[in-house]
Structure 1
Amino acid sequence: MRIFAPVLAASLALGGVALAQVNDDPTGPQPKLQTEQLGIKGDDGKTYNFTVEVAATAQEQAYGLMFRSSVPAGTGMLFPVDPPSVQLFWMKNTIVPLDMVFIGADGTIKTIAENTVPYSLRNISSNVPVAAVLELAGGATAADNISVGDKVIAKQFGGG
């Protein structure tokens, strides 16, 4: 569900070829991606564990969780960003509400967009440069008391 400004600029320079490859509207969810374990440690010391799919390629990130009918508890999708930058996401073709957790290069949660609206084309911004975005089921961050400043423990951040 990521909006690819760099891909858009590059594709316009190449006559639109790359844009057509990355932004094709899929007709159904992408196959399940490779997974890894990820934890979020709150300021109360409690760690919440998730099994997340890793959207590693531009195409995987463009499709994200589109057309998925659910995001089961304890699961999500991680979108690595290299180099860290301000990220814009939307909910095009996304059936269920999501919590979007924007994570800094040090693994600290910088911002959270809770219960994003299905199918919305409104930009959801990290507002600050981030190294990853984690999408969870809508309401998961509130249910687990996950908040800005909590620490993400994952391979990408030297843990996990």
Structure 2
Amino acid sequence: MIDVLVSMRRGLVALALCVFAQTASATCSEGTVWVRGDFGTARFNVEIADTQRTRAIGLMHRESMPASEGMLFVYPRPQRMSFWMRNTLIPLDMLFVDPTGRVKKIHHEAIPLDETPIPGGDGLTHVLEINGGLARQMGIGEGAELRHPSFDQDSAAWPC
């Protein structure tokens, strides 16, 4: 019964995020990532990990994260990316993103504390981490587009 209630709560949170995002204007700011696709539009408040130190720490040691939040990892040039869940206590969805802001791969529900490498692919500049299971619940899939000022606005699929 508890699993059903948790699942229903997650579904309602996902729906609320979509409804809110569709009614809000999609303005660019450092602490906000917009995601759009066949499912509609969603907004996440994000922490930015754009230095070697902040990327190394990521979401380690956190016991929870609100459904409307996440972390955006930003790299200066396209590269092959692989992540792991060392010291990460909550399941995460990892959206691997190319320089235009298009989601190239999603790893759903990464297992907490698992140090097995999670490959994202080549030519990537960003990774958006959100709560595990949320991408599926919301309908976010490969090909979705992200909007954030860290993307080169001249080549971004969804510029600011």
Question: Normalising by structure 1, what TM-score?
Answer: 0.75
Runs of 4 or more, structure 1, over 3 Å off, are none
Which of 115, 120, 143 is the matching residue for 1:121?
A: 115
Alpha-carbon distance between aligned partners in 2 of 1:109 and 1:50, rounded to the nearest angstrom: 15
Alpha-carbon distance between aligned partners in 1 of 2:73 and 2:150, rounded to the nearest angstrom: 11
Letter in 2 for 1:123: P
Higher relative strand content: 2
Q: Deviations over 1:126-148 (max 9, x none)?
A: 12220101110101101110000
- Counterpart check, 1:136 vs 2:134: no
Quote the offset at 1:56 in angstroms: 1.6
Letter in 1 for 2:49: A
Quote the offset at 1:43 in angstroms: 2.5
Letter in 1 for 2:35: I
Which residue of structure 1 lines up, in the alignment, with residue 52 of structure 2? 58
- Counterpart check, 1:38 vs 2:43: no
Which residue of structure 1 lines up, in the alignment, with residue 25 of structure 2? none
- The answer on whether the counterparts of 1:112 and 1:148 sit within 8 Å (CA) in structure 2 is yes
Letter in 2 for 1:40: V
Which of 140, 146, 156 is the matching residue for 1:146?
A: 140
Which residue of structure 1 lines up, in the alignment, with residue 14 of structure 2? none
Unaligned runs of 5+ in 2: 1-29, 154-158
- The answer on whether the counterparts of 2:78 and 2:122 sit within 8 Å (CA) in structure 1 is no
Which residue of structure 2 lines up, in the alignment, with residue 109 of structure 1? 103
Letter in 2 for 1:36: G
Identity %: 35
Letter in 2 for 1:150: A
Aligned residues: 125
| 3-state SS, counterpart of residue 155 of structure 1 | coil
Question: Normalising by structure 2, what TM-score?
Answer: 0.75
